[in-house]
Amino acid sequence: MAYSFDTIIPREHTNCYKYDLRSKVFGDSSVIPLWVADMDFKIADEIIEDITNAAQHGIYGYTYFYEELYNSLMQWNARRNNWHFSASDVVFYHGIVPSLNLIIQEFTNVGDEIIVQTPVYFPFFESVEKHSRVVLNNQLVLRDGVYQIDFDALERSINPRTKLMILCHPHNPVGRCWTHQELMQLHDICKKHSILVVSDEIHADILLYNNKHIPWATLSDYARENSITLVAPSKTFNIAGLSISAIVCQNPEILTKIKSFIERNQLHGMSPLNMKAFESAYTKGEQWLFELLRYLEGNLQCIREVMQQTSKIHLIEPQATYLAWLDCRNMNMTDEELQTFFVRKAGVGLSRGIQFGRGGEGFMRLNYACPRSVLLQALHQIIKVL
């Protein structure tokens, strides 16, 4: 292994959301924080070196989006996902959630319905509601320990006001990698009803146990021309604080509207250090990612082994992401009581399942992208009080 993920790097007093806001969020600054979805691992040395070299230049003026930046994204996806697109199909932007809000405003009107699939990353439905659109919730169904899409319910709920679908692909927090069959069934429904698909693929590279990611845009010619894909290296390479992402769309008319929104709102331009981090991650981070995934799989095995000691908590097996979705319904507690149990009794700060919308009741989300000793300490504290 060329990289070490066991080193504990103190993040306190760095204005770190995950650590320095524990007292505000949990009422206790001593809880082990396994909530916010960033990693407690140092990023690849190669990326640090490139950012450092760029910073040492000493002048941080206006910077255009340069050829190597586009190439890093295109070559990464061509090699790993067999997804081919050109630089003219890409717009760089300030993050996945800002991109989502742009799309909601530009491609829907007040009162339009937008499909989301809870339990899901909460900015999905919050962004819909904040812009006075209507959430059409196609809630996922848990069958035999695996989350599935309720296609019949989706088909029944669609109406003339349904304009957009936000797909979490892979899914946060339940960790599903959608299969080709599932994606095609969803594709056919959206095509039938002329629904524009926004595919959030930010977790597409955090694939466990050799699971495969199928980019939505590769499903068919129709999918390619009637979708918008959101990608970023932020989760994969732990550079979420350097807010940069890419909007990929191979429909010139849709892309023109996206660019128009950016120009009207004067949202163009970005930090040269952010750009360098993006480029470096996709060109020099692959070995780091390979070793990270093996480490995460080891952490996941620790969760399995410890949770076998109790019948109160059941791990929903993830296929992707570094987020464990824990079924705590056998604890027979309300969501408030669950929060109190984990914080006050176990001393662990997790994300409340109810935060992710309907279907999240009785669940908790645990971020296991941390040194193994920290994870084991948290798990043992939970088991001890159980």
Model confidence over 208-233: pLDDT tens digits?
Answer: 999 999 999 999 999 999 999 999 99
Please determine, for residue 2, whether its predicted confidence score (pLDDT) is greater than 90. no
Relative to beta strand 323-327, strand 363-367 is antiparallel
Q: What is the pLDDT of residue 66?
A: 97
Where exactly does CATH 3.90.1150.10 map onto the chain?
A: 17-43+286-385
Does residue 1 have a pLDDT over 80?
Answer: no
List, for residues 21-50, the tens digit of each pLDDT value.
999 999 999 999 999 999 999 999 999 999
Fold that domain 49-284 belongs to in CATH: Aspartate Aminotransferase; domain 2 (3.40.640)
For domain 17-43+286-385, the CATH superfamily is Aspartate Aminotransferase, domain 1 (3.90.1150.10)
Percent of the chain with pLDDT over 90: 99
* Rounded average pLDDT over 341-353: 98
Which pLDDT value is given to residue 335?
97
The lowest-confidence range among 72-76, 133-137, 202-206, 268-272 is 268-272
Q: What pLDDT was estimated at residue 361?
A: 98
pLDDT band at 297 (very low <50, low <70, confident <90, very high): very high
Q: Chain centroid to CA 195: how far?
A: 22
Q: Where in the chain is the domain with CATH 3.40.640.10?
A: 49-284
Span 269-296, average pLDDT: 97
Cα angle 7, 350, 378; round to 5:
45
Sorting pLDDT into bands at 50, 70 and 90, what band is 169? very high
For 139-159, what is each residue's pLDDT tens digit?
999 999 999 999 999 999 999
| pLDDT tens string 319-333 | 999 999 999 999 999
The pLDDT of residue 185: 98
pLDDT of residue 268: 87
Which of the four pLDDT bands, split at 50, 70 and 90, describes residue 274? very high
Mean pLDDT of 84-100: 98
With 0.85 as the threshold, say if the pTM is over it. Answer: yes
| Distance (Å, whole) CA 28 – CA 349 | 9
Q: Report which of 102, 71, 114, 129 is spatially closest to residue 254, judged by C-alpha positions.
A: 102
Strand blocks (E) in the chain: 32-33, 90-93, 113-116, 134-137, 141-143, 146-148, 162-168, 196-200, 227-231, 245-248, 314-316, 323-327, 348-349, 351-352, 363-367
What integer pLDDT is reported at residue 282 of this predicted model?
A: 98
